[in-house]
Each structure stands twice: as C-alpha cells, then as structure tokens.
Amino acid sequence: MPKVLKTTGLFFVSLAIFLQFSCKSSNGELPESYYNFPVDTTVQIIQTLPAEINESSGIISFNGNIWTHNDSGDDPKIYEMSIASGEILNTIEFENATARDWEDIAQDSQFVYVSDMGNNAGKRQDLAIYKSKKTAILDGDATSEAIKLNITYPDRVDFKPQAYKHNFDCEAILALEDSLYIFSKNHLDKHCRFYTASKTLPNQVLNLKDRFDTKGMVTGAAINKENGVLALLGYNLDPAVGNFGPFVWLFWDYPNQDFFRGKSKRINMPVIAQSEGIAYWKEGKFLISTEKTRMMRGKLMVFDAKKWID
C-alpha cells in the first residue's frame, strides 16, 4: 500500500497556506460562491509525483498503477507511475502525434484516449483527440501508433476572443461504451457544457448535450463504472491572482448518460493547488493529481466519494 504522507486537518491547513504562497500572489480572494460548499478534510496525499511529471494534467488507473501525461511543453508521451513508490515504471511515446496542449486521458477496454483540446487563449482551431491501442501498455512497448480524431465545436463562432474570457476550452474527457464524453472548461461563465463524440470518426463535429452551472472551471473527469458516479474535478481561479480553489462535483442517479439530470453535490478540496487529473481507483475512491508549483512537486491525493452520496 502507498504510504499516506499526512491525514490531519492541521496538516491540510498548513499545506493550503504553503501552496497559496507558491502561486502568483497571495493577495487575491476566491469568489464568494466558493465558500458555499462543504470541505472534505479527510482527503489524503499518498504520493509525490516525480520530477519528470511536472504538469500532470490527466490520469487513469490501470493494473494497479496510474498513467499520466504532462500539460504542454513535453513530447507526446504517457508515463506509468507506481502508486506505491512514486517511481516512473514505463514511458510510451505516441507516434504520429503532437502534444500542443494535452489536457486529459481516458480509457476503455481496448484504447487510451488523450485530449489535445487545451485552449486557454481561445484561438485554437486544431483541436484533436489521439487514440492508441492498449496493447502497447500491456506489452511494455516504448512507442505506440496514435490515431488522430479532429474535433470541431458545433456552437463556436468567435475564434478571436480575449484570452481567459471565453467558453471554448476543454480539459476533461470520458470513454464509455461507443462514445467519448467531453466536458468544457468555461472561463467566462464558469459553467460546464458536455458533448458527445464518436470513438472512430477521423473528422467530426461534437454533439452538444447539456450544460451545468459548476461555479468554477472543470479540468478532469472520471467515473466509477460500478455505480455510475461521475466525478468532475475543477478549480476556481482568478488568472490575475493565481489562487486555485479545487473542487469535485459528483453526479449520480441520472437517466441513461444524461449526467446533469440526476443528483449532484459539490465538495471543495482542503488545499490550494492546480488540480488537473482525476481517475477512479477502487472502493468508491478517486485519485487526484496536482501540478508542480514553484516551491513543491505535484502530489497524488485520494478522495473518498462514498460518504458524499445520498
């Protein structure tokens, strides 16, 4: 079992203050709505991420370990990391792929999917999702061929918005049955829209399904396939200040795959950190990864969703 670094409430208060000073500024405040939700002080930090994974932006759990990737500035690679030791066990580079702004990773029984749809500035038109066979992971290969799915939004008309002042960023995807589910990161209105996409069409326009007022920006998605609980990770952020207030929205008892039409609850995380990746782990628990700050490496945390489900 991985070693739990600390679990006490006092530790999280200290860590929150520490991380806050590692951001751009400590003078800003999170929006008032942030404080209207409960805080889970039992979240556990179980591992420090290795230096090679300085911007963990998406994670999946597979065969007892996690696979993750960096945000931008890295080659098109995914890394296998031991949850127990924090060591990198394997690295796979995607052939026929670029890594302009990789933001999330998802999986099904045959493929892994990496979303290259990051768009903070709002001007990108080359959005894509790369899919690669899981056999490379199972065989321990160093490279894997990637198939590119070119993505277009159905409801976007402005390709020259002001940076961080638009609703066409995306940092969260799921792979379920025959479809991909894509969740937007709305800088402007702090809502989240979700779309569906085909797993096979090389060029496609997303299908807009619904929207939800997340009161913050969504950065990752994961689902417990045993009971259907969807977890959307996100944070509140003022880009001029740099304070990150992470949260998780849980959705359950929804009809079909209409995630936003059932029960929901938001829980704030007891740290101030750029939380980007989330994956279902086991026994109702989700893993959450954070990015490196100027003063400390990224962390891997465990969030137990069971107690928050009515």
**Cα distance between residue 172 and residue 220, in whole Å:** 4
156: number of Cβ within 10 Å: 16
Dig out the tokens for 170 from the structure: 């995306």
Average pLDDT of 164-168? 93
The pLDDT value recorded for residue 23 is: 40
pLDDT digits (tens, 9 = 90+) for 121-148: 999 999 999 999 999 999 999 999 999 9
| Backbone angles phi and psi of 152, in degrees to 5 | -135, 140
| Domain boundaries of the chain, sorted by first residue | 9-308
CATH architecture of the domain with residue range 9-308: 6 Propeller (2.120)
Closest CA to 258 of 181, 199, 184: 181
How long, in residues, is the chain?
310
For 107-123, write each residue's pLDDT tens digit: 999 999 999 999 999 99
Please say if the pLDDT value at position 159 is more than 90. no
Q: Which pLDDT score, from 0 to 100, does residue 199 have?
A: 98
Mean pLDDT across the stretch 244-270?
96
At residue 233, φ and ψ (nearest 5 deg) are: -90, 145
